[in-house]
Structure 1
């Protein structure tokens, strides 16, 4: 049993879908389950649709039509006959979106987000499943929401493992080629939930764990796991192998190749993870597994941009002690802030956060009732794992440094 995950970049157009079929034909697809993301930048486009629903209803229809046109062009490239049933199936999915908007009564942005955003995955897998069947790669389309059950923490739902394990192990026929959606689940009321952005990798890990898979392969537009994101750093190097622990550390600090939650279920059952290029499927890529040493042993660079740095001190210059820190973290939790870095001294406390839920101003107002507060928005957090002095020197060059923290394995630098 093997799990394959294909991201949006791998199926961004008709040629990408054809290449997915080529990858399957090249490496084999018996006893395989495929997890697929939304096509190209569809998730971003869906977010625009959701924003228009709340703030610009006059643009709602046109933004949805743009997404429909994008997918229809892919359909026309893949299917010669417009009478093919896939056209009607995809059209019905778009009609479901319209129906939801027409009947929705909830003002909760996060709830609405989860009910709409996942149609990108539902549409992409529908198209791909029909295309594979058309060219003779017989497969079964699965609605992931009937298998992965979660709580109702919309936009970052937590998996209910026992229920999910029972559903997957009982109802997935592993002797067949199956295709399903990444990123999605459903709560106890069968409302759609999402596992967090980039959660498709995690979906593959959930299925691998529940099915006792032999391997998981993530197919990407890079050769494997690199020591730096080539979009931001020059001369990125391929890491041929890394341990689960190393990969978890890199994920924790924000490395984008592997989703932070993906590795834990794989590590628990010692399921190897491969990260390979969908452009060169026969290349070895990167293997993540138990007790593997980092090869090559080079500094690993991570950038998290658009962060917020908050610095606090007590109004009366008293020490920042345990009860203060507990209070601060309680507020960060209440306002759904993701903490990327902390640093404290006797009378000050600094925290670098991600304002994913747009609660920053309310948080700052709350903090100012008890602390002297300063903040810097849109800062960059650089992390170097396995650093050397040259790596630090290169990172600091021509940057305004707001905060710096060094441990034996990690250096973190916050810049404007």
Structure 2
């Protein structure tokens, strides 16, 4: 049993759809579940629909038209005008319009999940229909009938026992199965979504429940690199990584694989392969149990637009457990993700990600009880398996504001250039 996951970049246009169908033919189409994301930037387009709908702007019709035109233009390049796929897509778009017209809920996260799911439904319908057209038998199914969750919209928790039972009993694993990533359903059949890297997680869920031989995530890069090529001029492909190392890298912010995807695979020791859909003949990266990093070289992770905060007591007394516990509670309340911690006798420093734009409220809440120094828009560099040359290369990038070192990991906060 094999699980393949294709992200939005791999189905961004008609030629991309043809490419992944060729990959499937080359890799073999039996005993395979294929998990597919929304096409290209369509998730972003649906978020614009959600914004226009939720905020009652007059742009809703225009935003919906962008999505319809994108899919219809792509289909025109793949299908004859009388192909039944056009009717299937019209039905899906009709279901979306029905929800927009009939919904009365004001809960943003609920509304978000009911709308965003159509990106995956549209993409998988089109890929499945094209496979059928070129003679590749396949079974399209709605993943919401298989993966069951609680009702934590936008970050749902999987009901593993029920999901395992449904997948084991209902899925014909002998076929090529096409389904959606990222989305699921709760016990009232409302759509839920699985949060960050949700499509990768979907692949992990199916692999766990089906005791798969492996999972392959197909990307537009050769595999897992030791640094982001958008930031570093020179990068190296990592041919193998352990689960533990991948989780460490993800914790520090690397766009490797999210830990929640790795956990079910690690529990059953199912290897994860990261391969290129551009050069599918290349082996890519293998993530598995207990292997050494290969090659063993420094790995660089960058988080930009961070905020460095130093907090001390107004009377310069020691920063003890009570103070730190209180501060962490506030960081949690304001959804401020902590990426580095350093404390001394009288001060406590954190480098944080202000993803939800709650920092100013956090600052105003604490400023009457603590002395707070703030430096915004800093860059946090993390280096796993650092050496002297790696440290020097980071220090040359700017003025160092804070530095922390342990056995395997170096973190440096730099003023942003």
Interval of TM-score (by shorter of Structure 1 and Structure 2):
over 0.9
Aligned-partner Cα distance in 1 for 2:257–2:102: 37
Q: Structure 1 residue 294 and structure 2 residue 325: aligned?
A: no
Give runs of aligned pairs for residues 255-274 of structure 1, distance below 5 A.
Answer: 255-274=254-273
Aligned-partner Cα distance in 1 for 2:357–2:105: 19
After superposing the two structures, state which structure 1 stretch, 230-239 or 150-159, moved more: 150-159
Aligned-partner Cα distance in 2 for 1:357–1:54: 18
Q: SS in structure 1 opposite 2:5? A: strand
Partner residue of 1:92? 91
Offset, 1:254: 1.5
Relative distance call for 1:235 and 1:164 in structure 2 (3 A) is same
Relative distance call for 1:223 and 1:176 in structure 2 (3 A) is same
Aligned-partner Cα distance in 1 for 2:315–2:153: 40
Give runs of aligned pairs for residues 382-397 of structure 1, distance below 5 A.
Answer: 382-397=381-396
Q: SS in structure 1 opposite 2:411? A: strand
Partner residue of 1:157? 156
Relative distance call for 1:186 and 1:343 in structure 2 (3 A) is farther
Superposed CA RMSD? 1.8
Offset, 1:138: 1.2
After superposing the two structures, state which structure 1 stretch, 166-175 or 354-363, moved more: 354-363
Partner residue of 1:67? 67
Aligned-partner Cα distance in 2 for 1:283–1:72: 33
Partner residue of 2:37? 37
Give runs of aligned pairs for residues 50-61 of structure 1, distance below 5 A.
Answer: 50-55=50-55, 57-61=57-61
Offset, 1:270: 0.5
Offset, 1:56: 6.0
Aligned-partner Cα distance in 2 for 1:373–1:237: 40
Aligned-partner Cα distance in 2 for 1:41–1:310: 35
Aligned-partner Cα distance in 1 for 2:291–2:351: 31
> Per-residue displacement from partner, 1:337-357 (whole Å, max 9, x unpaired)?
333222222222222333333
Offset, 1:255: 1.5
Give runs of aligned pairs for residues 124-163 of structure 1, distance below 5 A.
Answer: 124-163=123-162
Partner residue of 1:284? 283
- Give structure 2 stretches of 5+ with no counterpart: none
Partner residue of 2:242? 243
Partner residue of 2:358? 359
Aligned-partner Cα distance in 2 for 1:118–1:158: 17
Relative distance call for 1:330 and 1:170 in structure 2 (3 A) is farther
Offset, 1:369: 4.4
After superposing the two structures, state which structure 1 stretch, 185-194 or 13-22, moved more: 185-194
Give runs of aligned pairs for residues 9-408 of structure 1, distance below 5 A.
Answer: 9-55=9-55, 57-81=57-81, 83-408=82-407
Aligned-partner Cα distance in 1 for 2:310–2:118: 40
Aligned-partner Cα distance in 2 for 1:113–1:190: 15
Q: TM-score, normalised by structure 1?
A: 0.94
Offset, 1:287: 0.9
Offset, 1:54: 3.4
> Per-residue displacement from partner, 1:46-94 (whole Å, max 9, x unpaired)?
222222223461112212211211111111111122x322112222222
Aligned-partner Cα distance in 2 for 1:63–1:21: 29
Asked whether the 8 Å contact 1:223–1:238 carries over to 2, the reply is yes
Aligned-partner Cα distance in 2 for 1:360–1:64: 34
Asked whether the 8 Å contact 1:270–1:289 carries over to 2, the reply is yes
- Give structure 1 stretches of 5+ with no counterpart: none
